[in-house]
Structure 1
Amino acid sequence: MKNVKWPLLVYAILAATSIMGIGIAISEKSITGAIGCIVAIIVIMGMGFKTKRKMRENGEI
């Protein structure tokens, strides 16, 4: 557990949850839910990549 990058793990879990949400929204025939989950995945992935870039610049990765 020493080498775990906790912020990146949290972003990965949130992204996976959003992807599951897309599937659930589609099965429930909820267009707004699917669109909301798609927006969420875009935001979460963007924040994850931004965090990874900052960590790389600071020598943490």
Structure 2
Amino acid sequence: MKQIKWLLLLCALLAVVSMAFIGVTLAEKNVLGICLSIVFAMIFMGTGFTLKRKLNVQS
């Protein structure tokens, strides 16, 4: 069984939570919250993809 990469899991969970907040802030019609949620989702997903690429190159 492969080892869990906790940092990648954390990035994925934070990205999912950010995407959920996009829906919540859309329902509340909060433009600032929508923008911040989108930015955070992009940051967490980008960080996760970058970490995954670095880990694959090291292997």
Counterpart of 1:37 in structure 2 is: 37
Gaps of 5+ in 2: none
TM-score, normalised with respect to structure 1: 0.89
Of Structure 1 and Structure 2, the greater helix share is in: 2
RMSD: 1.3
Residue 3 of structure 1: how far off its partner (Å)? 1.8
Structure-1 separation of matches of 2:30 and 2:22: 9
Gaps of 5+ in 1: none
Residue 36 of structure 1: how far off its partner (Å)? 0.5
Q: Runs of 4+ in structure 1 displaced over 4 angstroms?
A: none
**How many residues are paired up?**
59
Question: 2:4 aligns to what SS in structure 1?
Answer: coil
Residue 19 of structure 1: how far off its partner (Å)? 0.5
State the identity %.
41
